[in-house]
């Protein structure tokens, strides 16, 4: 890309393949972990691993690091808002039906 202000550097194909292998490994880990324990904590671990995978895809495949700061800010704000909405609603349900 030759426009001014546009980051020319990007991750190479080798990096992409390494990240892809990490993603596959994390998927295998999630499936294995799910078969070991059936408790609710397994769900938290599964979602946690999923978040790590999503973070890898966002950082490396979506080049979030190279985007302008404003995009990182609004993405963070939306995710924070989502966490807040889900967290508060869920805690409301939890206390209501406990």
**Residue ranges binding another protein (CB under 8 A):** 1-6, 10-13, 16-17, 19-20, 23-24, 27, 30-31, 34, 38, 40, 42-43, 46-47, 49-50, 53-54, 57-58, 60-62, 67-68, 70-71, 74-75, 78-79, 82, 85-86, 89-90, 93-94, 97
CA distances from 97 to 14, 36, 43, 90, 93 (A): 50, 29, 20, 11, 6
Minimum CB–partner distance for residue 94 and another protein (Å): 7
CA distances from 31 to 42, 44, 57 (A): 10, 13, 19
Minimum CB–partner distance for residue 86 and another protein (Å): 5
Minimum CB–partner distance for residue 28 and another protein (Å): 8
| Structure token pair of residue 62 | 């979506």
Nearer to another protein, 10 or 65 (CB): 10
Alpha carbon dihedral 82, 88, 94, 95, in 10-degree steps, equals 180
């Amino acid at each position: 890309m030759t426009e001014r202000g546009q980051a020319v550097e990007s991750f190479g194909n080798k990096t992409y393949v390494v990240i892809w292998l990490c993603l596959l490994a994390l998927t295998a880990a999630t499936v294995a972990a799910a078969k070991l324990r059936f408790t609710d904590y397994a769900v938290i671990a599964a979602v946690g691993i999923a978040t790590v995978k999503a973070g890898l895809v966002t950082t490396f495949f979506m080049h979030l690091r190279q985007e302008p700061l404003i995009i990182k800010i609004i993405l963070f704000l939306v995710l924070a808002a989502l966490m807040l909405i889900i967290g508060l609603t869920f805690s409301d349900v939890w206390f209501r039906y406990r």
